[in-house]
Amino acid sequence: MAPLIRTVTYATLFSAFVLVWLPARLLRWAGVSKPPTFGVAQAAGMLVGLAGAAVALWCVGTFTVVGRGTPAPFDPPRRLVARGPYRFVRNPMYLGATVALAGAALVYESVALAGYTVLFLLVAHGFVIWYEEPHLRRTFGQEYDVYCARVRRWWPAATVWSPRNR
């Protein structure tokens, strides 16, 4: 139960700050307000945003149940998470958040928010390359190397990987 409480707390704080508060400040700074009408862009943006949020939530749940830890770097999973959405791509949580931000950019028809989305993905990529992957390699060793050889970092493969079919 404790990992679930910690996960919900960390995920809520991260999401509230990086995916809600900062984008809202950016929209205000750019002079973007609520769209005057609800059109195709808003409907598409809501669907895209919900899909991204669903993937991110699936990831958070997988970290808790499979990894017995949280997505926070200071309270990481105790086991390598290679199930759920992590069978398709190594960084689905960042991808889900990116898709959710892209959905918001569509809803608001905001170039500034689209730029923030790209910046978010670039920062996530740097964090993955310079912190997460070296840390995971030190923590999980050959198990992580096998996983990396089978599952791509950012682009899902045509086949789904499972630790059972190495």
Q: What is the pLDDT of residues 106-163, one digit of tens each?
A: 999 999 999 999 999 999 999 999 999 999 999 999 999 999 999 999 998 777 766 6
Tokens of 7: 């996960």
The answer to whether 144 and 137 are in contact (CB under 8 A) is yes
Domains present along the chain, CATH in parentheses = 2-165 (1.20.120.1630)
Structure tokens at 151: 């599952």
> Residue 14: CB partners within 8 Å, gap ≥ 6?
71, 72
Q: Mean pLDDT lowest for which of 22-31, 72-81, 155-164?
A: 155-164
Q: Where are the alpha helices (DSSP H) in 66-132?
A: 92-108, 111-127
Distance CA 35, CA 109 (A): 8
Structure tokens at 35: 């769209």
User: Residue 1 — very low, low, confident or very high, per pLDDT cuts 50/70/90?
Assistant: low
Packed helices 111-127 and 22-29: angle between N→C axes, nearest 10 degrees: 140
Mean pLDDT (the chain) is: 90
Confidence (pTM): 0.90
Q: Report how far residue 47's alpha carbon sits from residue 102's, in angstroms, rounded to the nearest whole number.
A: 11
What are 22's two structure tokens? 């900062």
Q: How many CB atoms lie within 10 A of CB 33?
A: 9
